[in-house]
Structure 1
Amino acid sequence: MRVLIIEDDADIATNLYDYLENGGYEVDVASDGAMGLHLAVTQHWDAILLDLSLPGVNGLTICRKLREEARRDTPVLILTAKDTLDDKLQGFIQGADDYLIKPFSLKEVGARLAALIKRYKGQVTQAVLSCADVRFDVSTFTVDRGGRPVKLPPKCLQLLRILMQSPNKVFGRAELEAEVWGEQLPDSDTLRAHVYTLRRALTANGEDDLIETVHGLGYRLVVDNAHPL
């Protein structure tokens, strides 16, 4: 999942970047409106976090141009100190999908962001992914197996989420690499190393290995039951 942060406050941008990256997102940051608009319309994003008070081009203009000129329907979550009803209405009029007032909780940003992306991708019912005894709360980026917390690095979280969203489906190596690493494709051993790390974490207490290597094709998560809770 790729998220663009358009925010000129370096501290806020850094906190958002670290939180989302640790949650498995691929994140980029633009510190001014012109750069943010360029990135928003020239690259694919699963969601955009957008400040309103930006140098160069303000957030409302970015949102309007994204919708009316670039014809992009990328989910936009506005993060701003402007808290009047008129400010909020203007944001929605220009095409924003949600609005959060500063100061905000990073957990709330994560929950709202996950909800926007799920609606955008048609996955509204999947607040928690459940496959066999593995549960993945996509709003808090937490995983447990049989009630045991499973700690995973960001890229492994992304891999697990992709596999759990389509259990028993065989994902080709190129498909997984593109989903997790985007345009910055890793070397040939990186995906294999991350799958190994994911397997070790999920089987640390001797549990069955749910990840199957389909030789010559890729990987899949093999389960009998798979459903959102």
Structure 2
Amino acid sequence: MTLERVLLVDDEPQIQRFLRPALRAAGYEVIEAMTGAEALKAIATAAPDIVILDLGLPDMDGKEVVSSVRGWSQIPIVILSARDRESEKIAALDLGADDYVEKPFGIGELTARIRTALRHRAKADAVMPVIVSDGLSIDTVRRLVSRGEEHIRLTPKEYDLLTLLARHAGRVVTHKTLLTSVWGPAHGEDLHYLRVFIGQLRQKIERDPSAPRIVRTEPGVGYRFADNED
């Protein structure tokens, strides 16, 4: 059996010493890089399945690595960083990172995020005409949303918002990305507008809108669509 390969990009030797055996014990092959340049070379030549990326690298900011990689690859990228400001998370996610884990962290949380990112990228690469979450079915071919035999009527913008989140299932989609993708660049800062639509959408698709299980809030950052395996 071929092990999935993790590229660990971090210039802190203690992090490397901690994560290397932990990731191997979790069933992954581990390759390492300590600079942004080494990371870019490894992504291009060593064919990793996922990248665990620190933002504070000695030669460049990790966000530059994300931006560069997204020009030619959709490999999953999970940020692992001590930077806890929301602006840092948002910037990395807007550039194309799949998830963000803050230091200090638990190995269980990190490996769970790795599994989720790998699973959802595999689904994104496949043809997914029907997406299911908590009993809700989204038929992207016929543009139908239903729960069991009940057809749920959405406005065009509600449907576009839901399917954008669903196509990035498991991944945080930032406020700015949602607003500019669904309503256009002029609405990139209309957070109240987005919250109103998310509220309307939850009223229609969630079993309990006060405790949403499908469209989950990432405070200060955006929203995440959860599928049946989340």
User: Is the 1:80–1:100 Cα contact (8 Å) retained in structure 2?
Assistant: yes
Q: Which residue of 2 aligns with 1:33?
A: 36
Normalized against structure 2, the TM-score is what?
0.51
Is 1:10 aligned to residue 13 of structure 2?
yes
Q: Which segments of 5 or more consecutive residues in structure 2 lack a partner in the other structure?
A: 125-130, 132-228
Is 1:114 aligned to residue 115 of structure 2?
yes
User: Is the 1:41–1:72 Cα contact (8 Å) retained in structure 2?
Assistant: no
Is 1:63 aligned to residue 66 of structure 2?
yes
Q: Which segments of 5 or more consecutive residues in structure 1 lack a partner in the other structure?
A: 126-227
Q: Which residue of 1 aligns with 2:205?
A: none
CA RMSD of aligned residues (A): 2.0
Aligned-pair distance for 1:19? 0.7
Normalized against structure 1, the TM-score is what?
0.51
Q: Which residue of 2 aligns with 1:219?
A: none
Aligned-pair distance for 1:75? 0.4
1:100 aligned counterpart, secondary structure = strand
Aligned-pair distance for 1:116? 0.6
User: Is the 1:4–1:28 Cα contact (8 Å) retained in structure 2?
Assistant: yes
Aligned-pair distance for 1:57? 2.2
Aligned-pair distance for 1:85? 1.1
What do the CA deviations read for 1:106-126 (whole angstroms, capped 9, x no partner)? Answer: 110001101111111129x9x
Greater RCO (Cα-Cα under 8 Å, separation 6 or more): 1
Q: Which residue of 1 aligns with 2:92?
A: 91
Is 1:46 aligned to residue 49 of structure 2?
yes
Is 1:100 aligned to residue 87 of structure 2?
no
What do the CA deviations read for 1:49-90 (whole angstroms, capped 9, x no partner)? Answer: 00000011221011100002xx10000000001111111110
Q: Which residue of 2 aligns with 1:75?
A: 76
AA partner of residue 76 (structure 2):
P
AA partner of residue 58 (structure 1):
D
Q: Which residue of 1 aligns with 2:204?
A: none
2:123 aligned counterpart, secondary structure = coil
User: Is the 1:4–1:48 Cα contact (8 Å) retained in structure 2?
Assistant: yes
Q: What CA distance in whole angstroms lies between the structure 2 residues aligned with 1:14 and 1:96?
A: 24
1:83 aligned counterpart, secondary structure = coil
Number of equivalenced pairs:
124
Q: What CA distance in whole angstroms lies between the structure 1 residues aligned with 2:40 and 2:17?
A: 19
User: Is the 1:4–1:47 Cα contact (8 Å) retained in structure 2?
Assistant: yes
User: Is the 1:77–1:98 Cα contact (8 Å) retained in structure 2?
Assistant: yes
1:121 aligned counterpart, secondary structure = helix
Aligned-pair distance for 1:14? 1.7
Percent identity of paired positions between Structure 1 and Structure 2:
33
AA partner of residue 90 (structure 2):
L
